[in-house]
Structure 1
């Protein structure tokens, strides 16, 4: 505690597990950060300049990648600086900001993946009604809700966290997620109840909705001809891969407080190493129209 400025500082103890390898991890993380920003920005740029990509499916993909850009921009600079610092500390207010950004943008990913699944459901199961259902106004409302609802819920969560008294000022983590609960003198009943409700609203219900829509798509595709099955596979497989990986990381984060520090260390690195690069790679290679424009872009760059 800094008595002069009345600022509370938290020590991030997760870096102690890296020992002498922290510079090695810094190089890897810095490379991943640069590649992630470049890959995501490239695909968002392609979607923005090509009119044939100004369709709901591609708009949702652009929103998902833009969400990843914001997430990485908010999280990586502090993470990278801590790799090079002798002592890894963070002010409690900054820690709460990280907590807010981390869970808000993670929940937004679930909402955007839900919007994608609904878009694919309408396109494959109700193709004749697609233009009337997925209008521009509908897409704008879905995008607004995807960012607004998680932000409002997490604002309430942060408010409840600030009401909890701190008795500890060190926890084993690399950044501020639900590990901050270890800092409290005693568990908060109100926060625990709200976290369960938030988990249902921002993760479980969207996940169940996604599984329902893709189940319907699978049933309709199975009953239809070969062309419909091929279209469903081409457009839905990238979303399902991203959903599986993202859901696995979220499931880990929910139970993180019960895990040992070594497993915590490895899984956190998995989250920061692989997932940020997964979205642009999957959508860039597996979505036909995006892949086509991506190849043209690299061909032009090679010629120049």
Structure 2
């Protein structure tokens, strides 16, 4: 019988077919990761550099992009190495670190989307009081809640997982999953399951807050053309982000709870990693396209870059 004193390495599955098309898988995965870095960094830099974007809505958006970069950093470098390797393993400590990063990303994504919905609620339903309510102190408090509470939940979950004696080393997934580690436990993980219920309850409360605020927003927007315009510009991308994230995480939940061997391996892998592909790539793109201020800055940034390259090229040609 193996336990945590002897289990030093976990084996991962899901890349059995990667050897045949290794270069294609690697190139496609690397391209996605580079795109995620590019679009998120672009939005973050634009918000940081443009003074007129130092407003609560854009500050919260920049934190959403930072969270996307942090979460994907816990997955893509490892999966890229695994694609190039014939042996897919991860150290016990590395597994816990990956769990911490990915689970924190998921939890923080939900809370960040929740506080963003509150910001939109105040902006549309109480516009005259917006700057009185959304003070710098309030924004910092919301961000503290969005980051600290989820990370604390994940840390407690990992501490509970650390105490479990393990009777196996194989995780039937592309990356470390707390649910799969609990299945390897030699003893019932009752406390872990109870804490999982607490976390799910907290997240359901966040979702309820989002639904409530948007119910109020829609009610107000139906009364005025100005409200409808503001809703279309700032709330639609936020709603799209919420829907994409919920759908992506539901796929992972179904995979983790009902890991059916009947499904093709490619479909199972897609269900497992969709939340690490779609939301981090989708969020900055949809906000960048829909929100006029960011869209204008992006176009201006790339236009200036293109012009400078052309001008530089002509200058060098002229010197020659």
Partner of residue 314, structure 2? none
Q: Any idea what SS the aligned residue of 1:20 has?
A: coil
Which one is further off, 292-301 or 179-188?
179-188
Quote how far apart the aligned CAs of 1:149 are.
Answer: 0.7
Summarize deviations over 1:56-86 as a string: whole Å, max 9, x none: 0000000000111111223211111011111
What is the CA–CA distance in structure 2 between the aligned matches of 1:189 and 1:273, rounded to whole Å?
32
What is the CA–CA distance in structure 1 between the aligned matches of 2:182 and 2:258, rounded to whole Å?
12
Asked if 1:283 is matched to 2:282, the reply is no
Partner of residue 31, structure 1? 31
Residues 15 and 173 in structure 1, CA contact (< 8 A), matched pair in contact too: no
Asked if 1:148 is matched to 2:148, the reply is yes
Quote how far apart the aligned CAs of 1:292 are.
Answer: 0.8
Quote how far apart the aligned CAs of 1:26 are.
Answer: 1.3
Partner of residue 224, structure 2? 225
What is the CA–CA distance in structure 2 between the aligned matches of 1:275 and 1:135, rounded to whole Å?
28
What is the CA–CA distance in structure 2 between the aligned matches of 1:121 and 1:23, rounded to whole Å?
47
Partner of residue 176, structure 2? 176
What is the CA–CA distance in structure 1 between the aligned matches of 2:299 and 2:216, rounded to whole Å?
33
Asked if 1:264 is matched to 2:268, the reply is yes
Q: Any idea what SS the aligned residue of 1:10 has?
A: strand
Summarize deviations over 1:201-239 as a string: whole Å, max 9, x none: 1x21111111110111001111x2212111112110000
Q: Any idea what SS the aligned residue of 1:167 has?
A: coil
Residues 112 and 143 in structure 2, CA contact (< 8 A), matched pair in contact too: yes
Correspondences of 1:65-104 after superposition (within 5 Å): 65-104=65-104
Q: Any idea what SS the aligned residue of 1:14 has?
A: coil
Residues 44 and 65 in structure 1, CA contact (< 8 A), matched pair in contact too: yes
Instruction: Give the ranges of 4+ consecutive aligned residues of structure 1 lying more than 4 Å apart after TM superposition.
Output: none
Q: Any idea what SS the aligned residue of 1:16 has?
A: coil
Quote how far apart the aligned CAs of 1:6 are.
Answer: 5.6
Instruction: From the two aligned structures, give the one with the greater helix fraction.
Output: 1
Q: Any idea what SS the aligned residue of 2:218 has?
A: helix
Partner of residue 201, structure 2? 200
Summarize deviations over 1:27-70 as a string: whole Å, max 9, x none: 11101111111111111000001111000000000000011111
Correspondences of 1:85-164 after superposition (within 5 Å): 85-164=85-164
Quote how far apart the aligned CAs of 1:171 are.
Answer: 2.1
What's the Cα RMSD here? 1.9
Quote how far apart the aligned CAs of 1:269 are.
Answer: 4.3
Asked if 1:166 is matched to 2:156, the reply is no
What is the CA–CA distance in structure 1 between the aligned matches of 2:15 and 2:60, rounded to whole Å?
36
Are the structure 2 counterparts of residues 10 and 36 from structure 1 closer, same or farther at C-alpha, using a change threshold of 3 Å?
Answer: same
Partner of residue 247, structure 1? 246
Residues 12 and 173 in structure 1, CA contact (< 8 A), matched pair in contact too: yes
Q: TM-score, structure 2 length as denominator?
A: 0.89
What is the CA–CA distance in structure 2 between the aligned matches of 1:19 and 1:184, rounded to whole Å?
31
What is the CA–CA distance in structure 1 between the aligned matches of 2:258 and 2:44, rounded to whole Å?
38
Q: TM-score, structure 1 length as denominator?
A: 0.94
Which one is further off, 275-284 or 36-45?
275-284
Which one is further off, 258-267 or 168-177?
258-267
Residues 2 and 9 in structure 1, CA contact (< 8 A), matched pair in contact too: no
Asked if 1:45 is matched to 2:45, the reply is yes
Partner of residue 210, structure 1? 210
Which one is further off, 115-124 or 259-268?
259-268
What is the CA–CA distance in structure 1 between the aligned matches of 2:187 and 2:277, rounded to whole Å?
34
Q: Any idea what SS the aligned residue of 2:174 has?
A: coil
Q: Any idea what SS the aligned residue of 2:14 has?
A: helix
